[in-house]
Amino acid sequence: MATVAFDNSYARLPERFFARLDPTPVRAPQLVRLNETLAASLGLDPQWLAGPQGVAMMAGNAVPEGAFPIATAYAGHQFGGFSPQLGDGRAILLGEVLGRDGRRYDIQLKGSGPTPFSRNGDGRAALGPVLREYIVSEAMAVLGVPTTRALAAVTTGQPVRRQRALPGAVLTRVASSHIRIGTFQFFAARGDAEALAALTDHVVARHYPQAAGHAVPALGLLEAVIAAQARLVAQWMTLGFIHGVMNTDNMSIAGETIDYGPCAFMDAYDPATVFSSIDERGRYAYGNQPPMALWNLTRLAEALLPLLSAEEDAAIAMAQEALGGFWPAFQSALLTGFRRKLGLAREEEGDFALVRDLLEAMQRAQADFTATFRSLAEDADPRGQGTTQALFGAPEVFEAWAERWRQRLGREVATPQQRAAAMRLANPRFIPRNHRVEAALEAAVEHGDFAPFETLMAVLAKPFDEQPEHADYALAPQPHERVAATFCGT
């Protein structure tokens, strides 16, 4: 008999960290998609998961032996305002498993029914947002970005009421953990120093064991999270990814991208780009993501103050110094990422200006972010066509920049062929273009047609391959295809 070898370390923390409850069963669960590769890497049997017992588990209709279902408590700043109690309002952590890589992973159901943290919500998820998270999180994983993963999506056979009735679904999500900045804030807001210390020990042991040897482990933890999130957001920036809801409850302590809501990839380059329908002031616009990450990390530092030093002044000084590491870490990761995208293996003083000037020219020309960089990879190939300038309204702007770039490439050691190959691996041909994502969701939700979703998943599984038969998936949206806004679906 196939089972899941659960080992639930979070459930061994004090009871006030969570509420113990089972998922709420659904009427008619049906498997939409199972991530067999991920299942195998977690030591789970894909056949069992796709069978009646596995589907029942992933729909919340059966709790397998060894699971200890809980909804976790957390707080969070949402668009700048603090909510002392959020928590898993529509998610239930079944437990943790040890993957083939020896690491620990949460297995969580999202959309599995109400919990004590649901407030006015129904605890459910609609099919569209579940598929969006599936598509985008798996695309991010293949692109090499730390992220939660999608193990499976099931439909429930029950409608969820939003503006209108929509098909319901449950996502089985896998993460290094679901601990957020907001989890620390939950206990800090209650003055619960004991819980903060227990949470810190748990997170250090689980995610940042190197911090255990730090003279002040909480400071080691803070520094490590700052570094991890700086690197993460730098990766988002090099891909044109916009998270959309960077509230402190949506920022993973492990430095993974988490809580894909109204997220989207930018088409034409513009730092002010916002998709989320609820982000009216552009707080989480593409170009605001780095300062917002620092803002969130500052909230984490505040929550950790009591653990840094008994003397408040000393604790604040320590926190400030750690936070001072954010910009250097971010800038360095960003420059490393853009150097790779431009085929630069050496480091030169003028590289930052070269990147900045390209981005400025792209913004003026409203050039497509992903297509421009991929096209540069083709330009770098001596057999290539040199077609990038066609993406710029005024070709001479690009040509002036390209001349500087070619001179800079002249000081590299790689052959042009090697450079083009390396650049192709840094510049995807395919990203989850928002209009393609919306089209796949609409077909599934409105017509029960999952073929566009499956095709999109297949294309995005090989983002760096040319896939000429799917060339249209690489295209920027036509004006009439442009998606104006994305929704959380909550």
| Minimum CB distance to Mg ion, residue 259 (Å) | 4
Spatial separation of the C-alpha atoms in residues 3 and 35, rounded to whole Å? 17
- Quick one: 170 or 211, whose CB is closer to ligand AMP? 170
Q: How far is the CB of 298 from Mg ion (least distance, A)?
A: 19
Residue 124 contact, options Mg ion, ligand AMP, none, Cβ 5-8 Å cut-off depending on partner type: ligand AMP
As measured in angstroms, the least distance from the Cβ of 261 to ligand AMP is 5
Residues 151, 107 contacting (CB under 8 angstroms): yes
H/E stretch holding 136: helix 127-142
- 3-class DSSP assignment, residue 264: strand
List the single partner that 121 binds among ligand AMP, Mg ion, none, CB under 5 to 8 Å by kind.
ligand AMP
Find residue 200's DSSP bridge partners.
none
**What, of Mg ion, ligand AMP, none, does residue 123 touch, CB below 5 to 8 Å by kind?**
ligand AMP
Question: What minimum distance in Å lies between the beta carbon of 217 and ligand AMP?
Answer: 28
Q: Which is nearer to ligand AMP, 115 or 434 (CB)?
A: 115
Q: Select the binding partner of residue 29 from ligand AMP, Mg ion, none (C-beta < 5 to 8 A, by kind).
A: none
Matching residue, tokens 């109690």:
85
Q: From the list ligand AMP, Mg ion, none, pick the one residue 122 interacts with, judged by a Cβ distance below 5 to 8 Å according to partner type.
A: ligand AMP
Distant-in-sequence, close-in-space partners of 366: CB < 8 Å, separation ≥ 6: 268, 269, 270, 393
C-alpha 351/C-alpha 408 separation (Å) is 9
Cα 132 from Cα 246, distance rounded (Å): 17
Q: Which is nearer to Mg ion, 259 or 368 (CB)?
A: 259
The secondary structure element, H or E, covering residue 320 is helix 312-323
Tokens 């290094």 locate to 176
* Contact indicator for 446, 455 with CB cutoff of 8 Å: no
Residue 12 contacts by C-beta under 8 Å, 6 or more apart in sequence? Answer: none
Residue nearest to Mg ion (CB): 259
Contact residues for Mg ion (CB under 5 A)? 250, 259
Tell me which residue has its CB nearest to ligand AMP.
Answer: 121
Q: Which of 123, 27, 32 is nearest to 71 (CA)?
A: 123
d(CA 364, CA 405): 19
Closer residue to Mg ion, CB minimum distance, 61 or 247: 247
43 binds, among Mg ion, ligand AMP, none (CB under 5 to 8 A by kind): none
- Amino acid of residue 67: A
Q: Given 7, 22, 101, 249, which residue is catalytic?
A: 249
CA dist list (Å): 127 to 92, 132, 148, 275: 17, 9, 18, 19
Beta strands 104-110 and 165-175: pairing type? antiparallel
45 is catalytic: no
Closest contact distance (angstroms) between CB of 188 and ligand AMP is 17
- Minimum Å gap between C-beta 236 and Mg ion is 17
Separation CA 53–CA 64 (nearest Å): 9
DSSP 257: B
Minimum gap (Å) between residue 132 Cβ and Mg ion: 14
**Which positions lie near ligand AMP, rule CB under 6 A?**
86-90, 117-118, 121-124, 245, 249-250, 259, 261, 488, 490
Q: Which is nearer to ligand AMP, 124 or 149 (CB)?
A: 124
Would you say 9 or 118 has its CB closer to ligand AMP?
118
Residue with smaller CB distance to Mg ion, 248 or 370: 248
Which one of Mg ion, ligand AMP, none interacts with residue 424, CB within 5 to 8 A by kind? none
Catalytic center residues: 249
